[in-house]
A and B are shown apart, each in its own frame.
Chain A
Amino acid sequence: MNDINLTLVVVSAALLGCGVYLLLERSLSRVLVGLVMMGNGVSLAFLVAGGPAGSAPIIGSESGDASEMADPLPQAMVLTAIVITLATTAFVLAMAYRSWQLNGHDDVQDDVEDAAIRRMAATDVTSEAYGAASDDEDTDVSDDPRESDETPAAPEPGGAAPLATALDAVPGTEPRP
């Protein structure tokens, strides 16, 4: 069993740690920088797990036999990962630019629906799904004569309105030139 190269381990771990710190940021470009560094860190981690250093995995005169070569299988995987990181970087950059164009900043926004649920939790109300399927009054159902079926009833406004207010609460969706 060969010794493990501590330098590579430390470098990879440092890249991952810094990448994680940046990943949790709010500005999308910072998140992306963190993602790029994490990608580099993971590539190095693959190589560490791939065994000790060796000669290049190319069959020829100057490289040794198979046992002296570096393991080519993790290298193939890392190559794929590098290219896909490039694709991700390009796409997220386009997103950041577009977000800057529309909103003036490239911050990662909080989810609107979840904010609505948190508002519901804070004000101690029931959810819209519950309200649409119950009348939540304390009257005994059996004593009220219902209208006969097939008479068209007025559509319940309770279902539509809360959704509309939740959408209205989103700030700044008008596109800015």
Chain B
Amino acid sequence: MLILVAALLAMSAACPWLVRRWGRRAFLIVALGPLAGTVWVAAQGPAISRGEVLSEAHPWVQSIGMELAFRMGALQWLLAMIVLGVGTLVLAYCTWYFRKDSLGVPRFAGVLTAFVAAMLGLVLADDLLLLYVFWELTTVFSFLLIGHDPARRASRQAAIQALVVTTFGGLSMLVGALILGHAGGTHRISELLADPPSGVAVTVAVHLLLVGAISKSALVPFHFWLPAAMAAPTPVSAYLHAASMVKAGVYLVALLAPVYAGVDGWRPVLLVLGIVTMLLGGLRALRQTDLKLLLAYGTVSQLGFLVMVLGIGTRSALLAGLGLMLAHGLFKATLFLVVGIIDRSAGTRDLRRLSGLGRKMPVVAGAAILAAASMAGVPPLLGYVAKESILVAMLDVAKEGDGTGLAGAVGWLALAGVVVGSLLTAAYSARFVWGAFATRDVEEQPSVAPVHAGFAAGPVILAGLSLALGFLGRPVTEMLAPYLEEVPEGVHHAELSLWHGLGLPLLLTLLALAGGALLFVFRAQVARLQSLWSLDWSFERAYRDGMRVLDRTAVEVTGVVQRGSASAYLAIILAVVVVVPGSTLIGAWSDIDVEAWEHPAQAVIGAVTVAGALMATRSRRRLRAVLLAGATGYGTALLFVMQGAPDLALTQVLVETLTVVVFVLALRRMPEYFTDRPLSRQRYWRMALGLAVALVSAGFMLVAAGARIADPVSLMLPQEAVDYGGGKNIVNVILVDARAWDTFGEITVLVAAATGVASLIFVNTRGTGIRRVHEIPYPPTVRKQPTSPGRRPWLAAPRTLPPESRSIIFEVVTRLMFHTIVVFSIYLLLVGHNEPGGGFAAGMVTGLALVVRYLVGGRYELDEAAPVDAGRLIGGGLAVAALAAVLPLAFGGSILQSAIVDLHLPALGKLHLVTSALFDIGVYLVVVGLVLDLLRALGSHIDRQVVRARRESEEELVNEPVAGETPGTEQEATRA
């Protein structure tokens, strides 16, 4: 059984491709899947009628006890036959239903086949949770099928309505299933039915399950989604809303009824809702002019009837109900398919515009008449057989209770309701046949296209089955006998037969048929009466009002909570930080020993830092705020030194310097003052929040530092660092060896930031920005002295900077010291494993050397110092680091594993080499590349933009009629 379901699902995945390849004929191929399933299920028939049960179970989710458990008893067999059989015919019907230019057919084929699979799984599932999974799968697929044409508002609305209503029911069903499973100790349905638990919880659970069944099977008050779902294509309505999806609720009731019908409230609820639905649906159906909507309301009415009958729970009622379910599946599918044929042939479904179809498509009309007769309950069709048996069963209940305790007034009322309902059913069946096929006076005779034989085959087969099964009542009863044996024998022997003897049931049937005929004959008066009585309110109105209220509430709440301003969100986050973790401080405050400082110098540095921070906050000038923030950074570095963190202090100083430089370069074109908005009252709130965060963080620090009572894990690091890491600088060993992955991630962040800066500033590419001094052409009056080729200018500034921006001493000193600084940085790189230093610090030092050369000599000086594309440097560095990470794999180690190599070089002596130096070299290259990129982007490129802007403004001045301002020679030099 699992294989069958899985095979159908797999086939549904292949359907779109099949339909795209072969067009609509692919539906015939697709229909072979359910056909094979039908044949297989039919083959199991003899065994099942003998009482055997097919079951299989595969473990799935052990922790909640959910298994892929399937079980086929008599009830499941009947439903599987309906689901697969009608599914086959509907899929074949689709071949002719869709036109050549219909949209979305491949997806439709896949979803419909998947729906068949899901419905089959639902019917065969033996685990309550698995049943829920398939239940919701059918909900989802029906949403996709109803919303087949998403461009139409009606489709969207109907699909969402169906989804919301059935999901609501599905969720309550899940809760009920969980409660029932918990009470019974297992989720297996067969075990829950064999040994039912009892108690208040079980009653609640069963009612919740009923809510699910009621919502799925479109009973009052959830009935309104079914007529709206007529926006779906007709094959969908024929399958889902006649034969399968709505039957899911009916199946659930039939499954639980033998054992749980005695639960408090089961029978009253189902009786009342069923009869109300039956009458309401029937009355509404009489008013419809769209054939499809007529059938939809008829379906609503019939479903109410079915659920009511199955809810009664006596043996004869169950048998009769199942008979009616079979009959309904057959005749309703026929009628829907016929409506589809009419729609395609005549172009309209409105019965006010149809006429003469009976003569033009006699075969189809014959099938429709048979089906409508079965619906009305005309002998000898299956519908009549089922209804007759229902009346017998209900008469038994009304007279003696038949084990249900419903004897007396309640039983007779129910019977009366059923009779009235049958009356209405007969009336609207007649209306359907008359409206579709009779010859009437209409404004314009519809043009009727001929009907293909294959198109009509589906309805004809189903109508023929309705007729044939009417005579096969006894075999059907025998088929279902194992299921019926679960219920004690009633007053009469339960049997589906054509003749139950002369008695009240026959009389009531004749009464219903006659009354229906009368209602049909006087249809004009009935219509007038109905229009007088029409109610303004409906459950659908309630649903729509509810959805509207929900949407409005969502809009209002979102409008209040989601302000859209970053500072509001940050404020909320920080407020939560203050409140939630901050509230834990109240309890955690035990005695904490505090000393003012460890060294008085700390107090001085601290005071300066705090003063700098406060002044930076108050500053209204951009550059002053930046410089004061830099001052706090240097203060922090000094505190690092006193705390015993030299590596940290080194890096902090270098990074802070670079930060200040980068800030100044980026902000130099912006206005001097921050925007002069009036100071708002909100700043007091921000001050309060800042103060609160400061206090709470101080509390965190005090409590956290005071909680250091155990031995720290770093006590064993020194020995490990020397033995395994090969280095004496423990922090560096941690960075490039023990936690090298973090460092790798860190340099990746640097790469990402460099890329981001480049794309924001350069916008196009960064490689075109390198310009060398020797490319600058000399002015025509100057004759260049011949020099040896490749001779580079020692200083770039003379030819490229205006004299007032130069400082010759600064340039010469920088030029002389540059290489020394680079050598020092390489020394820091290599010695970092044993002394303060390392890849980051080294890269920063080289970067700062480049910064100084840029600040001194401008962008040409920078390009002379480093005539290499920064992107290549960064990429190369990352590649070297990745190589260092992966290389140990070639030697049998794990990623980023380092090795200590002791070499004896002849001239240099002993060399203690640790291979993590390669990783550090990669880090170095990345950092140098980052700094170079920042300088090129925020330095050189912005310089060029400044020059360009100045030149454009000067050209405007030149083009003005003011005499004789020649641009100076410095502009010619800088223009290059």
Interface centre among A89, A90, A146 (most CB of B within 10 A): A90
A165 within 8 A of B: no
Expressed in whole angstroms, the minimum distance between the Cβ of B523 and any Cβ of chain A is 17
Consensus secondary structure, chain B interface:
helix
Given contacts A40-B636, A89-B662, contact A21 B690 (CB under 8 A): yes
Given A12-B697, A40-B632, A58-B835, also A29-B667 (CB < 8 A): yes
Whether the Cβ atoms of A3 and B593 lie closer than 8 Å is yes
Cβ B153 vs Cβ A79 within 8 A: no
Known: A84-B749, A114-B563, A133-B153. A59 touches B718 (CB 8 A): yes
Residues of the A chain whose Cβ atoms lie less than 8 Å from the Cβ of B613: 14-15, 18-19, 37
Please state if B670 and A29 are interface contacts (CB–CB under 8 Å): yes
With A23-B570, A59-B721 already in contact, the answer to whether A45 and B701 are too (CB < 8 A) is yes
Q: Could you tell me if A53 and B642 are in contact, using CB atoms closer than 8 angstroms?
A: yes
Which of B153, B563, B626, B635 has the largest count of A CB atoms less than 10 A from its CB? B153
Cα of A27 to Cα of B667 in the assembled complex, Å: 12
B62 close to A (CB within 8 Å): no
User: 1/0 contact trace for B564-579 toward A, CB 8 Å?
Assistant: 1111001100100000
**How far apart sit A71 and B606, CA to CA, in the bound complex (Å)?**
21
In the assembled complex, the Cα of A120 lies from the Cα of B548 at a distance in Å of 14
The interface residues of chain B lying within 8 Å CB-to-CB of A122 are 559
A83 touches B708 (CB 8 A): no
Distance between A123 CB and nearest chain B CB, rounded to angstroms: 10
* In the complex with contacts A20-B693, A20-B694, A21-B686, A6-B609 CB distance below 8 A: no
- Does B598 contact A5, Cβ atoms closer than 8 Å? yes
Known contacts being A86-B655, A91-B757, A118-B559, is A33 close to B834, with CB within 8 Å? no
- State the CA gap A118–B288 with chains docked (Å): 43
Residues of B566-620 contacting chain A, CB below 8 A? 566-567, 570-571, 574, 592-598, 602-603, 606, 609-610, 613-614, 616-617
A1-15 residues with Cβ-Cβ distance < 8 A to B are 1-15
Give CA–CA (A91, B754) in the complex, Å.
7
Given contacts A8-B606, A94-B760, A100-B669, contact A75 B632 (CB under 8 A): no
- B547 proximity list for chain A (CB < 8 A): 130, 134
* Of B179-187, B205-213, B550-558, the one touching chain A: B550-558
Chain B contacts of A113 at CB under 8 A? 564
Q: Indicate whether B789 reaches chain A with its CB closer than 8 angstroms.
A: no
Asked if B244 CB lies within 8 Å of chain A CBs, one says no
Q: Which of under 10, 10 to 19, 20 to 34, or 35 or more describes the interface residues of A?
A: 35 or more
Contacts A5-B597, A11-B610; A121 near B718 (Cβ below 8 A): no
Candidate in B541, B560, B602, B659 with the most chain A CB atoms within 10 angstroms: B659
A83 vs B596: C-alpha distance when bound (angstroms) = 30
Q: B712 contacts which of A51, A90, A93 (Cβ < 8 Å)?
A: A51
A111 touches B565 (CB 8 A): yes
Does A4 contact B706, Cβ atoms closer than 8 Å?
yes
Supposing A37-B616, A70-B645 touch, asked if A133 and B157 sit within 8 A by C-beta, the answer is yes
Which of B563, B655, B714 interacts with A72 by CB under 8 Å? B714
- Assess whether A106 is in contact with B670, with CB atoms less than 8 Å apart: yes
The answer to whether A54 has its CB under 8 Å from any CB of chain B is yes
Is A135's CB within 8 Å of the partner chain B?
A: yes
Chain B CB within 10 A, most for which of A3, A36, A130:
A36
Contacts of A41 in B (CB 8 A): 697
Give CA–CA (A96, B669) in the complex, Å.
Answer: 11
B221 within 8 A of A: no
Whether, in the assembled complex, B264 has its beta carbon less than 8 Å from a beta carbon of chain A, the answer is no
Pick from A10, A85, A132: contact of B610, CB below 8 A.
A10
Chain A residues near B480: list those with CB within 8 A.
none
Complex Cα–Cα for A162 and B227 (A): 30
Chain B residues, CB < 8 A from A86: 655, 658-659, 750
Partner of B686, one of A2, A24, A124, A140: A24
The 0/1 profile, CB within 8 Å of B marked 1, for residues 63-92 of chain A is: 001110111110110111011111111110
Chain B residues whose CB sits within 8 angstroms of the CB of A107 once the complex forms? 675
Any B CB within 8 A of the CB of A172: no
B255 CB-CB contact with A under 8 Å: no
B937 CB within 8 Å of chain A = yes
Q: Which residues of A contact B593 (CB under 8 A)?
A: 1-4
- Is B154 an interface position by the 8 A CB rule? yes
Task: Report whether B705 and A89 are in contact in the complex, using a CB–CB cutoff of 8 Å.
Answer: no
**Is A72 a contact partner of B730 (Cβ separation < 8 A)?**
yes
Whether the Cβ atoms of B625 and A58 lie closer than 8 Å is: no
- A141 close to B938 (CB less than 8 A): no
Residues in A with CB closer than 8 Å to B716 are: 66
Contact with A along B256-291 (1 / 0, CB 8 A): 000000000000000000000000000010011110
Q: Does B674 contact A (CB under 8 A)?
A: yes
**B731 A72 Cβ-Cβ under 8 A:** yes
Cβ contact within 8 Å between A7 and B602? yes
Interface size class on chain B is 35 or more
Check if A98 sits within 8 Å of B761, measured CB to CB. Answer: yes
**Contacting residues, chain A, for B756 (C-beta < 8 A):** 91, 94
B617:A21 contact, CB within 8 angstroms: yes
- Asked whether any CB of chain A lies closer than 8 Å to the CB of B913, the reply is no
Tell me, in angstroms, the Cα distance from A73 to B795 when the chains sit together: 46
B722: chain A residues at CB < 8 Å are 59
Cα separation A9 to B704 with both chains bound (whole Å)? 11
Residue A153, interface by CB 8 Å? yes
Partner pick for A47 among B102, B640, B757, CB 8 A cutoff: B640
B674 near A14: Cβ-Cβ < 8 Å: no
Contact at B706–A18, with CB atoms within 8 Å?
A: no
Could you tell me the distance in whole angstroms from the C-beta of B553 to the nearest C-beta in chain A? 10
Question: Please, which residue of chain B has its CB at the minimum distance from the CB of A154?
Answer: B151
Q: Are A40 and B633 CB-contacts (below 8 A) given A98-B760, A115-B564?
A: yes
* CA A78 to CA B686, docked complex, whole Å: 27
Q: Is A148 an interface residue (CB 8 A)?
A: yes
Residues on the B chain within 8 Å of A155, using CB: 151
B720 to chain A, nearest CB (A): 11
Q: Across the interface, which residues of B come within 8 angstroms of A153, CB to CB?
A: 149, 151-152
Question: Looking at the complex, which of B28-36, B228-236, B512-520 is the stretch in contact with chain A?
Answer: B228-236
Q: Given A17-B691, A37-B613, A79-B735, check contact A47 B643 (CB 8 Å).
A: yes
Which residues of chain B in 16-36 are interfacial with respect to chain A, using CB atoms and an 8 Å cutoff? none
Query: A residues within 8 A CB of B227?
Result: 141-142
Chain B residues whose C-beta falls within 8 Å of the C-beta of A129 in the assembled complex: 551
Q: Say yes or no for A174: interface residue by CB 8 A criterion.
A: no
User: A12 touching B597 by the CB < 8 A rule?
Assistant: no
Chain B nearest CB from A152 CB (Å) reads 8
Assembled-state Cα–Cα distance A13/B695 (Å): 7
Task: Using CB atoms, name the residue of chain A closest to B567.
Answer: A24
Asked whether B441 is an interface residue with its Cβ less than 8 Å from the other chain, the reply is no
CA distance A115 to B559 in the complex (A): 8
Tell whether A11 pairs with B606 under 8 Å between CB atoms, given A20-B574, A52-B598, A126-B548: yes
Binary contact readout B640-651 vs A (1 if CB under 8 angstroms, 0 otherwise):
101111111001
Which of the segments B309-317, B345-353, B461-469, B775-783 contacts the partner chain? B345-353
Q: A76-B739, A126-B552, A143-B287 are in contact. Are A117 and B102 (CB under 8 A)?
A: no
| Nearest chain A residue, comparing its CB with the CB of B558 | A117
Q: Are B648 and A78 in contact (CB under 8 A)?
A: yes
If the complex has contacts A26-B567, A90-B934, are A117 and B562 also in contact, measured as CB distance less than 8 A?
A: yes
Q: Residue B478 at the A interface, CB < 8 A?
A: no
* A150 located at the interface, meaning its Cβ lies under 8 Å from any Cβ of chain B in the complex: yes
Residue B168 at the A interface, CB < 8 A?
A: no
- Is A167 interfacial (CB-CB < 8 Å)? no
Cβ distance B856 to chain A, nearest Cβ, rounded Å: 22
B644 close to A54 (CB less than 8 A): yes
Chain B's closest residue to A80 (CB) is B746
Are A69 and B610 in contact (CB-based, < 8 A)?
Answer: no
Please name 15 further chain A to chain B contacts, defined as beta carbons within 8 Å, in addition to the given A29-B670, A44-B636, A90-B757, sorted by A numbering: A4-B706, A11-B609, A14-B609, A21-B690, A36-B659, A47-B639, A80-B742, A83-B651, A94-B938, A96-B670, A100-B669, A130-B547, A135-B154, A141-B540, A153-B152
What are 9 A-B contacts with C-beta separation under 8 Å?
A: A10-B610, A23-B570, A32-B663, A43-B636, A73-B713, A87-B753, A107-B675, A136-B548, A156-B152
